[in-house]
Amino acid sequence: MDTDVVQAVAHYVEKTMGREGFRYVSAVVANCKMLAVQLEMQEDDPVSLDTDALVIAAYLHDISTLAHGFQNHQIKSSELAADFLRDCDVSEDCIAKVQKAIRTHTTMTLQQDRGEITEGQVLYDADKLGRLSGLAIVTSLIEFGVRYPNQAVTSGVLTALLRHVEERFIELYQSLHTAPAREMAREKFHSALAFLDGVIEHLSDATPV
């Protein structure tokens, strides 16, 4: 791996996205590295990935969101990534792989037979792993409060919100492309679902908050 390019990319992302954004992106990068190693070490069906392109794409996959938001961010981020990498004299072949991974990292696939594993699918899984934990439940509640500041939080409203979160958790878990990602997510996923089920059951007898 060209460490100079990776360091330049990391510095660019930290400068562009700030400390919090860079912290999240770094977690996605770490997940990508772990998944790549596990996929390449599978005895029954080893997967060969372009780790350089994967790591660079992981750093840059959200690079446009601070300035342009998340709507179709995979397209804008891939464009900004290509511009920056060309300034770093990265090969066009690598840039094409990075762009493809970024542009496909938001694609959800629910089929069990997913075919050949790509860098974009690994990036998708790495990006989603952080959203299958208890912290994601708290984030969803905060986002609801910000979006609907005048909404009275009755037990019925909270139950409906938590059921929506639960459905989203299940959908995300089922959409993971790789076996290592599903294995990494399994314990936190089941713990989060058990917590949600317990709270929903408790709310059936609750009074308004």
95-99: average pLDDT: 97
**24-45: burial string, b at 16+ Cβ within 10 Å, e else:** ebeebbebbbebbebbeeeeee
The residue with tokens 């989203």 is: 168
44 with 85, same domain?
yes
Instruction: Please give the pLDDT value at position 147.
Output: 74
102 with 168, same domain?
no
Domain boundary (110, 140, 155) is at: 110
Q: Is the pLDDT of residue 202 over 60?
A: yes
In the chain, the N- to C-terminal Cα span, in Å, equals 54
Alpha carbon distance 207, 95 (integer Å): 56
Lowest mean pLDDT among 47-51, 71-75, 94-98, 144-148: 144-148
**Which range of residues forms the domain containing residue 190?**
130-209
pLDDT band, very low/low/confident/very high, at 68 (cuts 50, 70, 90): confident
User: Could you report the per-residue pLDDT of 160-200, keeping only the tens digit for each?
Assistant: 877 877 888 888 888 999 999 999 888 877 777 777 778 77
Predicted TM-score (pTM) of this structure: 0.81
Domain boundary (76, 110, 144) is at: 110
pLDDT band, very low/low/confident/very high, at 112 (cuts 50, 70, 90): very low
Q: Which helix (H) or strand (E) holds 78?
A: helix 73-87
